[in-house]
Chains A and B, each alone.
Chain A
């Protein structure tokens, strides 16, 4: 862990920040291209030219776009995301609760999904091409192939309606006891686990199998190590980089891509919040959420990169 690693990491982070800035421009430009403006969206069917003009004036929509961009960027850098145009609430405050909910759900889904996927992947490799491997792969692929809403509905049907073990709606709120909260998110977390499981499992399996062709694995086998020890001690550490990559991608998905699951289970996360505000053309909120999502994606990718570097001796000790 000497200076080259620190330099690499610093480079990654700097690149990430630059990327984020570029994304912020894109987000801002994108929201400007959307048809209709926020004044029209707020008033909806009840828009009259008169009230439209009033509202536009009030919301400051008459300023040129670049001015509004710098205003916004300045605010974001000082932690002020502005107020939602549609409801007049402070965006940072409303996002805080939502973001926390999203992270909470993603955390529990990940806690189950990641180890499960990796262990299943290891088992699949150990019994590769046998019936265990085929069963694991088959089930995991099937659960990924079903659309999320289908999995969600099946879970609701059995666990909420038929046997009533878990609640079918996962409304969580501030001050909810921890146990209740975990129980409330049991079904959405399960649905998410099933959705992301196969991707990580298959990647683990493929990456390890790749390494299994190497000479040193053969050597290890010839030494008489058991199949599992070979995988655990020799194959897995060398296959970790691609696995981390795919794990991070899936973690990012758990945070930014769960709108459908949120809707089905009525979970108050970021996805639903974003969709509501997109339809209302509430530009400040869409920008803020978009930026947060971008930041999550970029930082998880940086972590994946750094982890890959740290895990790889060749990158850690470049010649």
Chain B
């Protein structure tokens, strides 16, 4: 029977048998539709990409205030559409390796202070011009301008000089950084003609799709760019379209109704229901994103490490993972790094221990309640999670008082301002980036006020270290320090949960961001 099915599915993949006929035959052979569908998609993968058609994604995270200026991209829709029209200097592969794009080669001096990017020949912008070293340099210059509002400014500030000469761009750093190529894969750094200095939101780059429609908050569409430099790998569909669907139910309905081929952010509580729908495949995979409760290490009563430890021990991580994420995630261990980072090393898992929590709580000498601020926007299910925390802490004799804050203004008024609140992090691509963004004394986003000169030194030393084994050991020590002395309570890492419709082929899980690190539209295809 399976031989026959294999044969049939290959025939579908090569276009000799219609999909409907295949499913009919499969049913006649007593095979469930789900299994038959999965057989089909694996056959299609083996058969390779199919060119043509229009691929559509219905995504949450677009607003009418969005701009095509890559510097200003922040939410999911500009991010995912950016990967359709934009081309990067360098990108992370799904396996976490560096994948050269416009830079053909990246080399550094021995001290990791001077980096040379060799620009690839024959890459063309949508306006017909060839991508030059000057364009790349100008792009980096624009994003490292103090006046710019670029989301990549934080990392770019570490670059002292940017020089283009011939086919090369030479970057001199203020301090050594072995991770520079990873930083250059930041999604804001889309290469634009003259760096986008003339018109930042012109929407011209060298990606697989040219922008045709741009209606912020409604839809964005592109058509295949004929001269894309690696057209065999990306840009299979003739057209791509992102439709902004911020309502979760509407998004699911659109996928079910066949109006879109893929959606992002399926809510964990409905995954089991959607899974059963014919043709729909749930694409869930681990990433670096995590949900947190953050305490300011320099503000009473959280300036006492015993109190912090008591709270860390008073949270029931397993219950939270089970009830809030329905198992679509993994346990957190109070440091912001997990296996999706290179150079990660395992540390003993912290568990819910009311007795120990009680002990530390007594030792801290704190009396009365602890005020925790929470909100729906802190992370999906944050209010419920805070209540679970309240209950598990009560069993350890710690009284947590909850204050529900309005979602509007939460990031301005509560996060990074109040001493104890719920929040989330999307994660970064390297440990250095994560620690530099939120755990250095000088970081603007040090939302746990973890200000330790000894830790800062470790971050800088690890950044300059080119020996991987040594670096790994350093990151291990840093993780232990944050875990045992920091202000971070990290109960769980969340997963990306996307879903695709019946005909989508070419999906590869990517741990860096949702929707195959944003490349789902550019890399997937519609099966015939």
**Interface residues in chain A, defined as those with a beta carbon under 8 Å from any beta carbon in chain B:** 35-36, 40-48, 50-51, 54-55, 84, 86-89, 94, 98, 153, 156-157, 160-161, 164, 167-169, 171, 173, 263-266, 268, 272-273, 276-280, 282
Residue among A42, A171, A273, A279 making CB contact with B243, cutoff 8 Å: A171
Q: Are A171 and B249 in contact (CB under 8 A)?
A: no
- Residue of B whose beta carbon sits closest to that of A282: B65
With A and B bound together, what is the CA distance between A156 and B146 in angstroms? 48
- Least CB distance, A225 to chain B, in whole angstroms: 51
Q: How far is the CA of A48 from the CA of B446 in the complex (A)?
A: 12
B412 A156 Cβ-Cβ under 8 A: no
Q: B256: nearest residue on chain A (CB-CB)?
A: A161
Known: A266-B218, A279-B408. 11 other contacts (CB 8 A): A35-B412, A36-B412, A44-B412, A45-B445, A48-B444, A160-B257, A168-B257, A169-B260, A264-B250, A276-B65, A278-B408
> Cβ of B67 < 8 Å from any Cβ of A?
yes
B343: chain A residues at CB < 8 Å are: none
Within the complex, what minimum Cβ distance (angstroms) separates B262 from chain A? Answer: 14
A168 touches B243 (CB 8 A): no
- Tell me if B409 and A36 are in contact (CB < 8 A): yes
Q: Are B257 and A167 in contact (CB under 8 A)?
A: yes
Contacting residues, chain A, for B149 (C-beta < 8 A): 42-43, 51, 55
Question: Chain B's nearest CB lies how many Å from the CB of A262?
Answer: 10
The answer to whether A88 and B67 touch (CB under 8 A), given A46-B151, A153-B249, A156-B253, is yes
| B201 is an interface residue with CB less than 8 A from chain A | yes
Q: How far is the CA of A280 from the CA of B65 in the complex (A)?
A: 8
Per-position 1/0 for B190-204, Cβ under 8 A of A: 000000000001000
Is the pair B254, A44 in contact by a Cβ cutoff of 8 Å?
no
Contact between B64 and A265 (Cβ–Cβ < 8 Å)? no
Query: Given A173-B218, A266-B244, A282-B65: A88 and B256 within 8 A (CB)?
Result: no
Are A263 and B246 in contact, CB atoms less than 8 angstroms apart? Answer: yes
A277-B64 contact in complex given A35-B413, A171-B243, C-beta closer than 8 Å: yes
| Nearest CB of A to B527, in Å | 20
Per CB-CB distance, the 6 closest pairs between chain A and chain B, nearest first, are A86-B65, A268-B218, A276-B63, A36-B412, A48-B444, A168-B253
B425-440 residues at the A interface, CB under 8 angstroms? none
A265 nearest in chain B by CB position: B250
Indicate whether A266 sits within 8 Å of B250 (C-beta atoms), given known contacts A43-B149, A282-B65: yes
B58 within 8 A of A: yes
The reply to whether B64 and A94 form a contact with Cβ atoms under 8 Å apart is yes
Q: Is the CB of A268 within 8 A of B247?
A: no
> Judging by beta carbons under 8 Å apart, are B257 and A266 in contact?
no
Bound: A44/B72 CA distance, A: 11
A173 touches B64 (CB 8 A): no
Q: When the two chains form the complex, which single residue of A36, A89, A280 contacts B63, counting CB atoms closer than 8 Å? A: A280
Q: How many residue pairs at the A-B interface have CB separations less than 8 Å? A: 114
Does B345 count as interface, using CB distance less than 8 angstroms? Answer: no
Within the complex, what minimum Cβ distance (angstroms) separates A36 from chain B? 4
5 contacts between A and B (CB under 8 A): A87-B65, A157-B253, A171-B218, A266-B244, A280-B65
Instruction: Report the separation of the CA atoms of residues A265 and B445 in the bound assembly, to the nearest whole angstrom.
Output: 37
Q: Are A264 and B249 in contact (CB under 8 A)?
A: yes
- Chain-A contact segment, one of B115-123, B209-217, B223-231: B209-217
Pair A164/B64 contact, Cβ less than 8 Å? no
- Decide: A263 and B250 in contact? CB cutoff 8 A: yes
CA distance A272 to B416 in the complex (A): 29
Across the interface, name the chain B residue whose C-beta is closest to A153: B249
Known A-B contacts A36-B409, A280-B63; the reply to A173 vs B219 at CB < 8 A is yes
Is B42 engaged at the interface, CB distance under 8 Å to the other chain? no
In the docked arrangement, what's the CA distance between A264 and B251, Å? 9
Nearest chain A CB to B183's CB is how many angstroms away? 16
B247 touches A266 (CB 8 A): yes
**Which among B213, B217, B219, B416 has the greatest number of chain A C-beta atoms within 10 A?**
B217
Given A35-B413, A44-B411, A84-B65, answer yes or no on A268-B201 (Cβ-Cβ < 8 Å). Answer: no
Contact of A41 with B63 at beta-carbon distance under 8 Å, contacts A156-B253, A168-B250, A264-B249 already known: no
A160 to B257, CA, bound (A): 6
**Residue of A43, A45, A50 ringed by the most chain B CB atoms within 10 A:** A45
Q: Which residues of B have CB within 8 Å of A263?
A: 246-247, 250
1/0 per residue, CB under 8 A from A, across B289-301: the answer is: 0000000000000
Interface: B147 (CB within 8 A): yes
**Cβ contacts under 8 Å, A157 to chain B:** 253
CB neighbours of B260 from chain A (8 A) = 169
CA–CA, A158 and B130, complex, Å: 51
* Residue of B whose beta carbon sits closest to that of A86: B65
Q: Which residues in A have their C-beta under 8 angstroms from that of B74?
A: 44, 46
Are A171 and B63 in contact, with the CB atoms below 8 A?
A: no
- B 245-270 contacts with A by CB, 8 A: 245-247, 249-250, 253-254, 256-260
Question: Shortest distance in angstroms between A200's beta carbon and chain B's nearest beta carbon?
Answer: 28
Contact between chains at B253 and A273 (CB < 8 Å)? no
User: B397: shortest Cβ distance to chain A, in Å?
Assistant: 35
Interchain CB contact (< 8 A) of B409 among A35, A50, A173, A272: A35
State which of B58, B64, B409, B445 has its C-beta within 8 Å of the C-beta of A169: B58
Q: Which residue of A lies closest to B218 (CB)?
A: A268
* Chain B: minimal CB distance from A94 (Å): 7
Q: How far is the CA of A124 from the CA of B79 in the complex (A)?
A: 55
A88 CA / B412 CA spacing, docked (Å): 22
Residues in A whose Cβ lies below 8 Å from that of B409: 35-36
Say whether B253 contacts A87, CB under 8 Å: no
**Using Cβ atoms and an 8 Å threshold, which residues of chain A touch B108?**
none
Closest B residue to A273 by beta carbon equals B64
Chain A hits for B172, CB < 8 A: none
Give chain B residues whose Cβ lies under 8 Å from the Cβ of A36.
409, 412-413
Could you give, for residues 309-336 of chain B, a 1 whenever the CB lies within 8 Å of some chain A CB and a 0 otherwise?
0000000000000000000000000000
